[in-house]
């Protein structure tokens, strides 16, 4: 061997050694990769993604699958971990899993591999979750750091999909705050700045939405990406990792009552099995935990319920800590709760869950396939299908279809059926009804029938009233659509195709102007789009006829006159038609054949309003976020967000929107606002913001009308007496004192109104009610009530229906106050007005039915 040969051989040998070593070293521990021990500090999101990608690059057990970007452009993705052999056939395993969900039972050639999905940090400031994900990703990929668990054996029959951070925008907001405020050594004193996160906190995403309320509605870009990815895999087990208060220990499944009735005995039982294994891990080192309390399974858009309604074992795990805990904090008992300890707990519950799922993989797969078969052959509940009559508002129908698609629910066209027993969502009654050919039909017999039945449930039955969220959400009410629930099955007759709808302007070639229909749910979107382009638009306050066509009050008139400076007026009008799902009509003259001519004062000119809102301390970040999201993503109209009431530049504003909040207004603040409104300003108060004006001279809003309070109290007393009598009777039977201490917490629930649907009566002649008929199903999410206004009521709860919700639960003591109370009203002051929207119409962005009320309040001020 000459020296050159020798060198070549040595080099080859070194390369061989190095590649073997490098392959090993490519899978670093989190601390090697990050440069600090897990728990010493919080990890920024891009480093989390980098680490996950390094695991995927360095190991044949893992791949990284991106599924989207957040609003702030952070990468979203999952690390899919399983054995090398399973990785080699991963797509086949995925397809086999999808076949289990077709509703045809378990295929005979099923490969027998289960899917477990672990979601971390949906609430950004529950920041331990992602740190724990780093540790658990490493453990699953390497097989180290998993206690006495045999990771390799787990991964032979299980695919683990880990989403290390569901909400990176919120989490990095929190991590930046931690980095900024905490020093070299964490300060455990809870009174210090590192334990006091500033507004709006990192819990929510960019638009300040709580993404653990969004699974079913998918209004947020992160949820849309994640659920699409989730539905591509459809796991048998899903864990949503959270944190609760500093002084709470650990919580895991089984969950507390109420459970939605659709949750199967098997799903209940399997939670127990997994919980028991978690308990075994926690007992081994004496960790404290609790189960079966606080966290219920009802509202369908959580990270535990939504997976449950899709056939998985959905669970929430809660570590004690949260935003306040920082890197270390002293608890009420004087212990120090460290980030490292919080990581350990979430890491172990994750490992334990994978272990128990792997142990039960056959059962999980079998029951999962069974769940989907049952949906197809014998759907849950009393309704066999749902019909949305054809010819309804195009925008609302589009939103309905979006939600159905996003949940994997299939639908089609109905055949004509002359007589079918059906529940009517508007009247609340069941009777013989007619289905017309071409109506939208959703057959309940379908694989995703579970989530369908929950979302369409006219009145979900609570197994226990102790819930902390809304108790009614039926899609027809949320969308404001007519629908019926069928008692007998009707099969879909044809694929759904949307009725062809011209959005192009029709009529004259060289028009005098255009009319854009104003009645649609998204009509104000069309208006806003024109205003944003500088178009002057007029709103007809009475119906009129022209060119042989009939137009309605509330329609928008656009004339060439006053729009001379708009470069592309016809284009702007056409774009408004698209935005509002309506076709503009070109007209030849300003002289009408009935009604008033266009030059008349019956057409109020609307010019682009300058709008501002408050988003800062003292304001509900959720409400501020809903408003921001609505302007940016729905109306696509500019809004000025200022940090405090005092920052509003009133002289240069036409509309101010006050989100729900806890305003500390003094008389000076109110006087400034009042002067601005009297001069022509339009003030819109949402939800809790109404309280800032209640009982204040000149603002027209009061808790109770004259004499009303005494009546309500008398009725409350009657209910209380009846309850006392009932309790005395029950307690005597059990030999108990009048109200045992243990029952007192529960007693307070009788005053609660966590969220229910009420039928409101509307004055549909008022511009605030444009786009509505004489009724509106309102979602009321608190017991707060105000008396009907002395003038300007637009929506009130009818005084004659006992104040009970149309759908959902209200504590019995909350009911007397609801009768006749205000839902939405306008109080005129000088040249301007105040709109009180007592029930937040933008709630979680999914109550589509309320959006028009909000839009009218903001844009139709000149007509009020
Ligand atoms: Zn949480």
Could you tell me how far CA 714 lies from the centroid of its own chain? 38
Centre of ligand 1 to C-alpha 172, Å, is 16
**Residue keyed to tokens 């998985």:** 312
Centre of ligand 1 to C-alpha 220, Å, is 17
Token pair listed for 78? 């999952």
Residue 1 pLDDT: 47
Centre of ligand 1 to C-alpha 173, Å, is 16
Centre of ligand 1 to C-alpha 244, Å, is 7
pLDDT, tens digit, 9 for 90 and up, residues 42-88? 999 999 999 999 999 999 999 999 999 999 999 999 999 999 999 99
Residue 833 pLDDT: 97
Centre of ligand 1 to C-alpha 465, Å, is 22
Centre of ligand 1 to C-alpha 129, Å, is 10
Residue 730 pLDDT: 67
Residue 93 pLDDT: 98
Residue 460 pLDDT: 85
Centre of ligand 1 to C-alpha 756, Å, is 23
Least confident of 21-35, 390-404, 678-692: 21-35
Q: Which has the closest alpha carbon to 131: 444, 344, 381, 353? A: 344
Centre of ligand 1 to C-alpha 340, Å, is 19
Centre of ligand 1 to C-alpha 458, Å, is 28
E-assigned strand segments in 165-312: 237-244, 250-251, 256-259, 289-290, 296-297
- Residues present in the chain in total: 864
DSSP string covering 648-704: --GGG-SEEEE-SB-----HHHHHHHHHHHHTT-EEEEEGGGGGGTTT-TTS---SS
Centre of ligand 1 to C-alpha 672, Å, is 40
Classify domain 610-712+750-864 by CATH architecture. Answer: 3-Layer(aba) Sandwich (3.40)
Centre of ligand 1 to C-alpha 761, Å, is 37
Centre of ligand 1 to C-alpha 840, Å, is 23
Residue 110, judged by CB atoms within 10 A of its CB (0-12, 13-18, 19+), counts as: middle
Which is it for the CA torsion 365, 371, 372, 378, positive or negative?
A: positive
CB 287 within 8 Å of CB 296: no
pLDDT, tens digit, 9 for 90 and up, residues 728-783? 776 666 665 555 555 555 667 788 888 999 999 999 999 999 999 999 999 999 98
Centre of ligand 1 to C-alpha 302, Å, is 10
Centre of ligand 1 to C-alpha 127, Å, is 10
Centre of ligand 1 to C-alpha 632, Å, is 26
Centre of ligand 1 to C-alpha 123, Å, is 5
Centre of ligand 1 to C-alpha 268, Å, is 22
State the average pLDDT over residues 197-213. 97
Centre of ligand 1 to C-alpha 165, Å, is 13
Centre of ligand 1 to C-alpha 243, Å, is 5
DSSP at 391: S
CB 470 within 8 Å of CB 755: yes
CA distance 439 to 431: 18
State the average pLDDT over residues 488-513. 79
CA distance 810 to 805: 7
Centre of ligand 1 to C-alpha 323, Å, is 10
Centre of ligand 1 to C-alpha 335, Å, is 23
**Angle, to 10 degrees, between the axis of helix 361-377 and the axis of helix 265-284?**
160
Percentage with pLDDT > 90 across the chain: 83
Centre of ligand 1 to C-alpha 251, Å, is 12
Centre of ligand 1 to C-alpha 48, Å, is 20
Centre of ligand 1 to C-alpha 248, Å, is 13
Residues with CB in 5 Å of ion ligand 1: 123, 126, 242
pLDDT band with cut points at 50, 70 and 90 for residue 295: confident
Centre of ligand 1 to C-alpha 122, Å, is 7
CA distances from 598 to 130, 538, 782, 840 (A): 61, 9, 44, 35
Residue 716 pLDDT: 87
Centre of ligand 1 to C-alpha 489, Å, is 40
Centre of ligand 1 to C-alpha 211, Å, is 9
CA distance 129 to 145: 17
pLDDT, tens digit, 9 for 90 and up, residues 231-287? 999 999 999 999 999 999 999 998 888 888 899 999 999 999 999 999 999 999 999
CB 258 within 8 Å of CB 462: yes
Centre of ligand 1 to C-alpha 303, Å, is 10
pLDDT band with cut points at 50, 70 and 90 for residue 19: very low
Residue 734 pLDDT: 63
Mean residue pLDDT across the chain: 93
Token pair listed for 160? 């683990």
pLDDT, tens digit, 9 for 90 and up, residues 595-605? 999 999 999 99
Opening angle at CA 702, ends 696 and 706, nearest 5: 120
Rank 153-162, 714-723, 788-797 by mean pLDDT and report only the highest.
153-162
Centre of ligand 1 to C-alpha 80, Å, is 23
Three-state secondary structure string covering 251-266 = ECCCCEEEECCCCCHH
Could you tell me how far CA 793 lies from the centroid of its own chain? 30
Higher-pLDDT residue of 468, 455: 455
CATH of domain 28-374: 3.40.630.10
State the average pLDDT over residues 780-799. 92
């Amino acid at each position: 061997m000459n020296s050159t040969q020798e060198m070549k051989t040595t080099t080859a040998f070194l390369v061989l050694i190095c590649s073997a070593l490098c392959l090993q070293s490519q899978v670093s521990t989190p601390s090697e990769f990050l440069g600090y021990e897990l728990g010493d500090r919080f990890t920024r999101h891009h480093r989390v993604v980098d680490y996950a990608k390094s695991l995927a690059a360095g190991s044949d057990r893992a791949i990284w699958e991106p599924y989207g970007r957040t609003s702030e452009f952070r990468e979203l993705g999952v690390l899919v971990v399983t054995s090398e052999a399973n990785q080699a056939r991963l797509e086949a395993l995925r397809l086999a899993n999808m076949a289990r969900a077709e509703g045809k039972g378990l295929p005979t050639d099923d490969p027998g591999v289960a899917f477990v999905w672990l979601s971390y940090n949906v609430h950004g400031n529950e920041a331990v979750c992602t740190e724990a994900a780093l540790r658990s990703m490493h453990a699953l990929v390497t097989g180290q750091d998993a206690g006495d668990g045999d990771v390799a054996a787990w991964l032979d029959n299980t695919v683990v999909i880990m989403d290390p951070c569901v909400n990176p925008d919120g989490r990095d907001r929190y991590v930046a705050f931690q980095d900024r405020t905490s020093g070299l050594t964490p300060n455990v004193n809870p009174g210090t700045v590192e334990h006091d996160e500033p507004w709006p906190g990192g819990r929510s995403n960019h638009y300040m939405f709580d993404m653990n309320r969004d699974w079913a509605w998918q209004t947020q870009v992160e949820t849309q990406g994640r659920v699409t990815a989730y539905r591509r895999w459809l796991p048998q087990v899903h864990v949503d990792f959270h944190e609760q208060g500093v002084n709470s220990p650990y919580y895991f499944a089984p969950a507390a009552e109420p459970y939605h009735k659709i949750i199967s005995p098997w799903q209940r039982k399997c939670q127990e099995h997994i919980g028991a294994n978690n308990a075994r891990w926690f007992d081994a080192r004496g960790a404290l935990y609790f189960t079966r309390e606080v966290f219920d399974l009802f509202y369908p858009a959580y990270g535990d319920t939504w997976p449950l309604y899709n056939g998985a074992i959905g669970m929430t795990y809660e570590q004690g800590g949260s935003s306040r805990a920082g890197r270390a904090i002293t608890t009420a008992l004087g212990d120090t709760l460290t980030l490292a300890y919080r990581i350990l707990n979430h890491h172990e519950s994750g490992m334990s869950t994978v272990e128990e799922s792997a142990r039960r993989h056959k059962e999980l797969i079998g029951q999962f396939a069974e769940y989907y078969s049952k949906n197809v052959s014998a759907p849950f509940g009393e309704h066999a299908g749902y019909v949305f009559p054809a010819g309804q508002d195009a925008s609302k129908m589009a939103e309905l279809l979006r939600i159905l698609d996003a949940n994997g629910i299939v639908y089609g066209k109905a055949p004509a059926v002359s007589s079918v027993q059906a529940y009517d969502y508007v009247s609340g009654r069941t009777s013989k009804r007619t289905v017309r050919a071409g109506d939208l039909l959703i057959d309940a017999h379908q694989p995703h029938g579970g989530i369908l039945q929950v979302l369409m449930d006219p009145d979900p039955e609570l197994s226990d009233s102790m819930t902390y969220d809304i108790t009614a959400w039926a899609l027809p009410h949320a969308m404001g659509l007519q629908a019926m629930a069928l008692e007998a099955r009707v099969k879909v007759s044809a694929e759904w195709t949307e009725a062809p709808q011209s959005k192009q302007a029709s009529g004259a070639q060289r028009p005098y102007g255009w009319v854009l229909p104003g009645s649609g749910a998204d009509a104000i979107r069309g208006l806003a789009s024109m205003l944003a382009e500088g178009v002057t638009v007029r709103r007809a306050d009475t119906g009129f006829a022209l060119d042989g066509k009939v137009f309605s009050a509330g329609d928008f008139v656009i004339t060439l006159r006053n729009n001379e400076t708009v470069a592309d007026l016809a284009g702007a009008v056409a774009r408004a038609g698209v935005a509002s799902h309506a076709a503009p009509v070109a007209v030849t003259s300003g002289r009408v054949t009935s009604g008033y001519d266009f030059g008349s004062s019956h057409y109020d000119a609307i010019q682009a309003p300058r709008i501002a809102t408050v988003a800062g301390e003292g304001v509900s970040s959720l409400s501020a976020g809903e408003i921001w999201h609505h302007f940016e993503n729905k109306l696509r109209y500019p809004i000025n967000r200022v940090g405090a009431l005092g920052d509003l530049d009133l002289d240069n504003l036409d509309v101010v929107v006050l989100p729900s909040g806890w305003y500390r207004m003094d008389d000076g603040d109110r006087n400034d606002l009042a002067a601005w409104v009297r001069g022509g300003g339009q003030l819109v108060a949402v939800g809790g913001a109404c309280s800032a004006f209640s009982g204040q001279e000149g603002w027209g809003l009061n808790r109770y009308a004259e004499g009303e309070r005494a009546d309500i109290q008398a009725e409350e007393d009657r209910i209380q007496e009846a309850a006392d009598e009932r309790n005395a009777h029950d307690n005597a039977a059990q030999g108990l004192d009048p109200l045992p201490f243990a029952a007192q917490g529960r007693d307070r629930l009788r005053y609660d109104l966590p969220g229910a649907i009420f039928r409101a009566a509307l004055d549909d002649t008022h511009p605030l009610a444009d786009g509505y008929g004489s009724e509106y199903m309102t979602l009321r999410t608190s017991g707060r009530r105000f008396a009907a206004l002395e003038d300007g009521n637009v929506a009130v709860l009818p005084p004659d229906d006992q104040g009970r919700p149309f759908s959902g639960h209200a504590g019995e003591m909350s009911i007397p106050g609801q009768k006749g109370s205000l839902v939405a009203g306008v109080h005129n002051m000088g040249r301007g007005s105040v709109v009180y929207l007592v029930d937040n119409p933008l709630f979680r962005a999914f109550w589509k039915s309320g959006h028009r009320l909000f839009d009218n309040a903001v844009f139709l001020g000149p007509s009020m």
